[in-house]
């Protein structure tokens, strides 16, 4: 199974890392987050349908799923499973306006 991580998802991960590092002054938590995000994405390679299905009206987001980052339950990985690929779209805090954020970038998911 191939894994594709969109640029926006990589930026999300780095932004959260910087938040723990700079704003919280917690370098160990920042590193733990990176490791947990990497581990969760790798787990999706072997079990791509384990995430919870999400429903959107936008046809480009049909089949979207989300999976938590272990140890960071509010952080969710939003991804699509298409044939032999898992495409990670975003990694976001669950309290954000997920629908609006994902709808913005959905044109790229055709």
Residue 14, domain CATH? 3.30.2310.20
Question: Range of 26's domain?
Answer: 2-109
Model pLDDT, residue 110: 43
Q: Which of 5, 8, 3 is nearest to 103 (CA)?
A: 8
- Number of domains within the chain: 1
How far separated are the first and last CA of the chain, in Å rounded?
19
**What pTM value is reported for the model?**
0.91
- What's the rounded Cα separation, in Å, for the pair 110 and 67? 22
Tell me: pLDDT of 41 over 60.
yes
Question: In the numeric block, which tokens belong to residue 79?
Answer: 């991804």
């Amino acid at each position: 199974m191939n894994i594709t991580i969109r640029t926006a998802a990589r930026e999300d991960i780095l932004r959260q890392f910087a938040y723990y590092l700079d704003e919280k002054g917690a370098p160990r938590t920042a590193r733990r987050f990176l490791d947990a995000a990497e581990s969760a994405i790798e787990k999706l390679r072997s079990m791509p349908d384990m995430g919870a299905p999400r429903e959107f009206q936008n046809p480009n987001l049909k089949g979207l799923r989300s999976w938590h980052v272990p140890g960071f339950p509010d952080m969710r990985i939003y991804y699509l499973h298409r044939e032999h690929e898992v495409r990670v779209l975003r990694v976001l805090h669950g309290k954000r306006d997920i629908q609006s954020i994902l709808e913005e970038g959905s044109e790229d998911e055709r």
